[in-house]
Structure 1
Amino acid sequence: MIKITMFSSADKVAGQGVGSAYIELINLLKQRFSKEFDIQINNYGKSDLSHYHTIDPQFYLSTFSKKRGRRIGYVHFLPETLEGSIKLPKLFRNIFYKYVISFYKRMDQIVVVNPTFIDKLVAHGLDRKKIKYIPNFVSTKNFYEKTPEEKSAFRKKIGISDDKLIVFGDGQVQERKGIDDFYKLAQDNPDIQFIWAGGFSFGKITDGYDRYKQMIENAPKNMKFTGIVDRNDLVNYYNICDLFLLPSYDELFPMSVLEAFSCGAPVLLRDLELYQAIIDGYYQPAKDRGEMNDFIRKVAKDHSILDNFKKKSRLATDYYSEDHLSKIWYEFYTNQYKIAKQDK
């Protein structure tokens, strides 16, 4: 049995995709490979493989111990992707960014959630041979398409009629997520219900915190901010929406998009390079808010447009399924174990 220690604090802060991805992986490994892998969490005892999901300072110090075995780093973000997420003094920001790269360089193997990260990490000085791409996934047991009756019941619960078109978005309230465009689209389409699930996971150090707090407090009648929603309740919002919209300017491999796919929701996204690399063909692309608005209005006039996108979402779910990814993770860990044994 291969002993794998997971180092993570990702599940301590609600509303983060990193935490969602971490929980999905832990559940998958424990359910499917309990006889092959001995999974420990934040245990500093001896291990064959140590998989670092977050970059906590105490985890960094642990990488110098011989007990850690082969060190695997999970890259969910780069210094440049933090821009627009958190607001830090320039001096501290520069130190923190150097620390992030230093942490990644301490690893024997890097796993990226998006292939576009590979060249960027190489530019930061990492060895391309040590970097592997493994996509995120979500559990279809937790995120699935509900019955029309269940959807109608939840709409009734939150006070939205069955005939009301719903555009739903999910993520932290921050500039990087394109929340300003989402808000403006709500203002421009008063007959459509817009819902955003998410809050300030970074608290007051969120970039633009005061402005967004004012925005939430003065939202138009057709714009609903739910705050941070528990993952077990998110499935209801994905199910009642007619269209899932994530207008982010910069993303990694958003769990929210996979969750929307898994619930059969049609997906509209700002057409980013990283999406083209991982989910091209499964969503409706839009280069800016104008194109998003055009598509939303087109859908409002003809709901049948969305039928094809529901089919695309189901196809995406098949590709990013637990069955597919479980095989990839099993091969990855067993190969890493073989390398660790050879290096001894």
Structure 2
Amino acid sequence: MFSSADKVAGQGVGSAYLELVGLLKDRLQDQFTVTINKHGQADITHYHTIDPQFFLSTFSKKRGRTIGYVHFLPETIEGSLRMPKFAKKIFYWYMIKFYKRMDQLVVVNPSFIPKIEAYGIPKSKITYIPNFVSPVEFPDRSIQDKLALREKYQLPKDKFIVFGSGQVQERKGVDDFVNLAKKNPHVQFVWAGGFSFGPMTDGYDHFKKIVENPPKNVIFTGIVKRTEIADYLNLADLFFLPSFDELFPMSVLEAFSCGVPVLLRNLELYEAIIAGKYVGADDLTGFNQALQKLMTDADFYKHYQQLARQAAQEYSPEHLAKIWADFYTAQAKF
């Protein structure tokens, strides 16, 4: 494994990387010997990030079969980072160059296969393997535990709590999160995440003002540990992510694992992975209507809570362990 994904806190790429490393060490240690960021002879080298030093290492004959994890494409970077046009052009060129250098690519959403093909990479070199979340790290806690967590984080026990997580940026739909809070002053909103890339974050000046002076019923926690994300999910009544673009958000899987109903913007890319498992809406008006129904219709709420728990089973470590084992074994035989 080669990765720097866990060096920048508060991003899903790092979470996905840590989940896979944990899976290999906990469930597949008898089949695979795993090293992290160590140069040496290998049957397979799996690159999780596209660092220049990693690119250079691909020219070594010791690397074996090279696997590239596609966590982002040029179009998914738009709305995330603020860069000069010339720098963006070079970065995008390099990104695709890195992917083309791989023997095989792994995507977390099948809807991105044709998009990768459009960059001149054949479909035969692309494999779909979804993200997953460990129920140990993101448990579905009891009602008593949930109330205790509200007390721990000094949040009201008698209010409906809406939770969102991710980097504070335009692409994540943070404006809609805040505007929905303004429409519902009786509801507590909490957003966990911050500016992982500092002033380079797209819309940094705009969002910095919001974070520093949010509505009274909105809390921005800043970047927190994954254990705290699990706590916030368990104390929340609803997970709300109004993103405009995603690959396969780890935050949604984390919510499913904690048995929390999910409200998302209707995006075509979700259709291939979690269709029917979440409450969807197109805009702020739709989000508000969905929120009112979730708060007032107990059967509707319980239905989506059960769907979340079902989805958690589909994207469990048990299910994904065999998929990864079969994939790595097949790649080693090339």
TM value normalised by structure 2: 0.98
- Which of the numbers 25, 28, 37 marks the counterpart of 1:30? 25
Distance 1:99 1:143 in 2: 35
Where do 1:116-195 residues align within 5 Å?
116-195=111-190
- Which of the numbers 241, 251, 256 marks the counterpart of 1:256? 251
Where do 1:224-303 residues align within 5 Å?
224-303=219-298
Q: How many Å apart are 1:211 and its aligned residue?
A: 1.0
Distance 2:326 2:297 in 1: 46
Give 3-state SS (helix, strand or coil) of 2:33's partner: strand
Distance 1:313 1:282 in 2: 6
2:5 corresponds to = 10
Q: How many Å apart are 1:161 and its aligned residue?
A: 2.3
Describe the superposition over 1:101-154 as per-residue Cα deviations: whole angstroms up to 9, x where unpaired.
000000000100110110001001101101000000000111011121211111
Distance 2:216 2:189 in 1: 9
Give 3-state SS (helix, strand or coil) of 1:41's partner: coil
Distance 1:260 1:300 in 2: 18
Structure 1 residues 104 and 269, CA gap change in structure 2 (3 angstroms): same
Q: Match for 2:135: what amino acid?
A: T
Instruction: Please say if 1:101 is aligned against 2:96.
Output: yes
1:70 corresponds to = 65
Q: How many Å apart are 1:39 and its aligned residue?
A: 0.2
Distance 2:202 2:61 in 1: 39
- RMSD of equivalent CA atoms: 0.9
Describe the superposition over 1:269-292 as per-residue Cα deviations: whole angstroms up to 9, x where unpaired.
001111111000111111111100
Q: Match for 1:22: what amino acid?
A: Y
Distance 1:27 1:294 in 2: 39
2:50 corresponds to = 55
Q: How many Å apart are 1:34 and its aligned residue?
A: 1.3
Q: Match for 1:94: what amino acid?
A: K
1:3 corresponds to = none
Distance 1:299 1:313 in 2: 14
Describe the superposition over 1:175-233 as per-residue Cα deviations: whole angstroms up to 9, x where unpaired.
00000000101111100001100000111100111111101111011001011110011
Distance 1:33 1:249 in 2: 36
Q: How many Å apart are 1:298 and its aligned residue?
A: 2.2
Distance 1:139 1:334 in 2: 23
Is the Cα contact below 8 Å between 2:173 and 2:241 reproduced in 1?
yes
Is the Cα contact below 8 Å between 2:295 and 2:301 reproduced in 1?
no
Q: How many Å apart are 1:299 and its aligned residue?
A: 2.4
Give 3-state SS (helix, strand or coil) of 1:249's partner: coil
% same residue: 60
1:207 corresponds to = 202
Distance 2:61 2:152 in 1: 55
Contiguous gaps of at least 5 residues in structure 2: none
Distance 2:297 2:109 in 1: 34
Is the Cα contact below 8 Å between 2:70 and 2:105 reproduced in 1?
yes
Q: How many Å apart are 1:19 and its aligned residue?
A: 0.3
2:35 corresponds to = 40
Is the Cα contact below 8 Å between 2:263 and 2:280 reproduced in 1?
yes
1:342 corresponds to = none
Describe the superposition over 1:236-278 as per-residue Cα deviations: whole angstroms up to 9, x where unpaired.
1111111110000000100000000000000010011111110
Distance 1:194 1:268 in 2: 13
Count of paired positions: 334
Deviates more, 1:94-103 or 1:146-155: 146-155
Contiguous gaps of at least 5 residues in structure 1: 1-5, 340-344
- Which of the numbers 287, 311, 326 marks the counterpart of 1:331? 326
Distance 1:198 1:69 in 2: 37
1:317 corresponds to = 312
Q: How many Å apart are 1:305 and its aligned residue?
A: 2.4
Distance 1:304 1:243 in 2: 15
Is the Cα contact below 8 Å between 2:161 and 2:238 reproduced in 1?
yes
Distance 2:214 2:82 in 1: 24
Q: How many Å apart are 1:47 and its aligned residue?
A: 0.8
Distance 1:285 1:190 in 2: 22
TM value normalised by structure 1: 0.96
Q: Match for 2:189: what amino acid?
A: F
Q: Match for 1:240: what amino acid?
A: L
Q: How many Å apart are 1:321 and its aligned residue?
A: 0.8
Q: How many Å apart are 1:304 and its aligned residue?
A: 4.0
